[in-house]
Amino acid sequence: MLLKRETESNGRRTAALVVVAAMALAAVAVAVVPGAVAADAPTAEPVELNESVDPGDGTNLTIVQYNDIQTAMASNESMATLVGAINDRKAALDNPTLVVGGGDEVSPSSLSAVSEWRVPVDVLNVLNPAAEAIGNHDLDYGFAEVGNFSDASEFPWLVANIRAEDGGNIPGTQNYTTVTRDGVKIGIMGLVDDAVMPKTAVDFEEKGYEVTDFSTAGQQVAETLEEEENVDVVVALSHIGIPESRELANNTDNIDVIVSGDDEVTYGPEVTSGSVIVEAGANAEFLGEVNLTVTEDGVGFTDGRRYNLGEGNWSMNESADEVVQRGFAEDLSQVAGETTEALDSTSGNYADDTNWGRIIGDAFVEQTGADVAVTNAGGIRGNFVIDEGNITYNDVYTSLPFGNTLVTKEMTGQQLLDLLDSQVTPPTDNYGSQPQLQVGGVTYEFLDQPKASPAIGDVYVDGEPIAMDETYDVTVNSYMAGWDSLASLPTVDEDYTLYGTAVVNYIEERGTISPPEEDRIRRVTRSLDDPSIASEGEMTTLTYDVPEAVESINESTFTVMNEDSETVAVADATLSDGQLTVTVETGALESLSASSDAVTVYGHYADSEVDAVRNGHDDSVLAADATLAVDAGPALGPDVSEDHDGDGLAEDVDGDGAVDVTDVRTLLNNRHSAAVQNNVDTFDFDDDGAVDAGDVLALFRSIY
């Protein structure tokens, strides 16, 4: 099968081939035996292809691709394996080989804070690709730094569709390059899509750059390579993802192979509209390999392979190992402190608040003195867990690898709510409803309900309900500060401390950290109206009416929480005849009401309407608010104190409907109880700011 129609150019037949690649890698520092060489390099079965062609009598060409190295640049073992595996494959082949990278190589990694792009470029020079694509993270240090790391690179950096106002390229980049392998001339281009703009801290408009359509640019460059450069094969390194790669294949001619990057999946090789599309996953865990046959009639696709670099006995490249070891030894092995619990730096930070996310949020607040901190989950990387025990600089900077600093914005309560709301994904998304944030100084509910608008429920700042008209100082990272919704807001302060360094400072200040036991971000599917409340003996029962969609409950998941995120477990939860009944120890409720009489019951349940259309979560969550009236004590039974005359004082202390000497006696006996001391304003009959014997006397005099 010919991948594309043959074309005539200057009297000779040529064909075009385009390649786009993607990979990512977690950072781990382990020993690599210098010079270790595989006795037998691993082999891989050919990927089953939807279309293929016999090699024929042409020249065989193999393309080996990787991409999205990212955090793996801080792992000497990973880099030694990657370079060793590429060399193993080149040595095993008896035909021309082209090695290319698909972008996102110089950032982010834990070395970013101390090395920026320098260690990654040194590693890539050892790897020796024919060319590298520009990805969004390769712009993390700004356009000017691209020129600097391009100067330090022994290979070209390519992107054809990021254009300056004068039509020029990003400093240090080219639209394309050409190389020759055993008489086969290959043209290589780089492409991005417009999603590159919001995924990097660079302000394209401010710097005078725009992203043009990748299909249009790809077609133009392919034609230039064929008609002016007389190439036999065109390779496009397209940092755009699989869906966009299919679009590129469908909308262009003369593109033979698209090695896709950015979305970090393993894909193909598969043929779409005559173009081979392949992607080699993420985290430098795979190599992709595409075998082509180049003849006078065009380019044919023979077969393809994916190699798992975590399996088999690959060679370990000593030079790559040494480059990373040197960079690592400079700073990242230092111990910042200890943790009493494992800390989650995985993609779970998108779905809920985590113990690591709470540490990050609190560190931001401490660094800047703001009321609230908000950071995007996408800035928490590495996909690993920091184990209980020592926390190294490498742990922190692998998790927080970008060059982001801290910016404090002034926001109204409404603007803060809008920010939280803007990040909630709908339940029908691939991963379901996710808040996609980590926070400090604020707690809130997000609504796991189709078409919820806003998708935010109760919001509390420092334990108090958010006031929409009040202003709050909110610290975000500098990447977020450039968002359209935040850029125009007043800037209170710019702290040029790296966001990772702010967390290092927080840990070093304490030596040992224990993550706050809070539930700052809470998923809610349905809210219930106020309950009826009854107390008997040492137990209090809250009974709620529930809609028919509530089919069953998971009794073990029910808890009660106050506005300070303090939580107690319920003694029992039952669902019967359209009512949810929750039983809690009265003393536990009193402890929750120390700061406020408002509490919320949370619990998981099955929802006949929402569960069927939701992704990402197996069940739904109920939120049931309750206001706890003051109970004078267990000895008084279920009756609660009441204010009959509306003056704010509960003269009917025992709640029996009358104001008499028994109320005086009740106050005398219970004046030191939590129920009274947590509600001083209700029982301060002498208006001195305290409840004591003077209030008992004042109540007596008011009655008699």
Q: Is the pLDDT of residue 127 over 50?
A: yes
- The C-alpha atoms of residue 298 and residue 256 are separated, in whole angstroms, by 10
Compute the mean pLDDT over every residue in the chain, rounded to the nearest whole number: 86
In eight-state DSSP terms, residue 453 is S
Binning pLDDT at 50, 70 and 90, where does residue 112 land? Answer: confident
Where is average pLDDT lowest: 135-144, 506-515, 626-635? 626-635
Average pLDDT value for residue range 395-411: 92
For the residues 68-77, what does the mean pLDDT come to?
Answer: 87
The β-bridge partners of 21 are: none
Tell me, what's the pLDDT at 14? 33
- Report the candidate in 156, 158, 168, 165 with the shortest Cα–Cα distance to residue 135: 158
What value does the CA radius of gyration of the chain take, rounded to a whole number of Å?
32
Interatomic CA distance for residues 470 and 413, integer angstroms = 6
In degrees and rounded to multiples of 5, residue 73 shows phi and psi of -60, -20
**CATH code (residue 343):** 3.90.780.10
* pLDDT of 635: 35
Give the residue-averaged pLDDT of 515-540. 90
- Predicted confidence band at 639 (pLDDT cuts at 50, 70, 90)? low
Question: Do 262 and 340 belong together in one domain?
Answer: no
How large is the angle between the packed helices 693-703 and 661-670, nearest 10 degrees? 170
Query: Is 569 a domain residue?
Result: yes
Judgement on whether residues 93 and 188 belong to the same structural domain of the protein: yes
- C-alpha to C-alpha distance for 300 and 52, rounded to whole angstroms: 8
618 φ, ψ to 5°?
A: -85, -20
Please indicate, yes or no, if residue 483 is contained in any of the structural domains. yes
Please indicate, yes or no, whether residues 261 and 291 belong to a single structural domain of this protein: yes
Decide if pLDDT at 291 tops 50: yes
State percent of the chain over pLDDT 90: 60
Pairing of strands 233-239, 184-192: parallel
Which residues are bridge partners to 344 per DSSP?
385
Please say if the pLDDT value at position 51 is more than 70. no
**Distance, CA of 175 to CA of 253 (rounded, Å):** 18
pLDDT of residue 111: 78
Indicate whether 608 and 657 sit together in one domain.
no
Instruction: Specify whether 401 is located in the same domain as 285.
Output: no
Amino acid at residue number 275: S
pLDDT in the model for residue 679:
81
Let me know whether 315 and 359 are in one domain: no
> 177-228, pLDDT tens digit by residue?
999 999 999 999 999 999 999 888 788 999 999 999 999 999 999 999 999 9
Residue 531 belongs to a domain with what CATH number?
Answer: 2.60.40
Task: Tell me: do 258 and 294 sit in the same domain.
Answer: yes
* Percent of the chain residues past pLDDT 70, beyond the cut: 90
Residues 345 and 323 in one domain: no
Contact between 546 and 577 (Cβ < 8 Å) = no
* pLDDT for 247: 96
pLDDT band at 319 (very low <50, low <70, confident <90, very high): very high
Same domain, 546 and 478: no
User: According to the model, what pLDDT value does residue 377 have?
Assistant: 97
Q: Residue 73: which domain range?
A: 7-327
**Among positive and negative, which fits the CA dihedral 188, 194, 198, 201?**
positive
Give the C-alpha separation, 314 to 312, whole Å: 6
CA angle 621, 623, 629 (to 5 degrees): 155
Q: What is the pLDDT of residue 568?
A: 92
- 120 and 240 belong to one structural domain: yes
Choose from 66-70, 202-206, 555-559 the range with maximum mean pLDDT: 555-559
CB-based contact 651:618 (threshold 8 Å): no
- Give the number of other Cβ atoms within 10 Å of residue 130's Cβ: 21
CATH number of the CATH domain containing 199: 3.60.21.10
Asked whether residue 12 is domain-assigned, the answer is yes
Overall number of domains in the chain: 4
| Separation of first and last alpha carbons in the chain | 105
pLDDT tops 70 at residue 54 = no
- What is the full DSSP assignment across 218-249? HHHHHHHHHHTS--SEEEEEEET-HHHHHHHH
Tell me if 1 is assigned to some domain. Answer: no
pLDDT surpasses 50 at 6: no
Residue carrying structure tokens 């021309």: 96
Task: Note whether 430 and 284 are same-domain residues.
Answer: no
3-state secondary structure of 27: coil
Contact 615, 432 (CB under 8 A): yes
Could you tell me which of 207, 190, 101 has the C-alpha nearest to residue 145? Answer: 207
Q: Which of 327, 346, 378 is the C-terminal boundary of a domain?
A: 327
Residue 285 has φ and ψ, to the nearest 5°, of -90, -15
Residue 2 domain flag:
no
* pLDDT score of 7 more than 70: no
Is residue 12 packed enough to be buried (19+ CB in 10 Å), middle (13-18) or exposed (0-12)? exposed
Looking at residue 655, its pLDDT comes to: 79
Q: Which stretch of 222-226, 323-327, 442-446, 478-482 has the lowest confidence by average pLDDT? A: 323-327
pLDDT at 56: 56
Domain boundary among 501, 517, 533: 517
Q: Report the predicted TM-score, pTM, of the whole model to 2 decimal places.
A: 0.58
Residues 163 and 82 in one domain: yes
pLDDT for the residue 634: 34
- Residue ending a domain, choose from 281, 304, 327: 327
By three-state DSSP, how is residue 284 classified? coil
Cβ burial of 258 (10 Å; 0-12, 13-18, 19+) is: buried
pLDDT over 50 at 637, yes or no: no
Spatial strand order in the sheet of 176-181: 176-181, 184-192, 233-239, 257-260, 275-280, 266-272
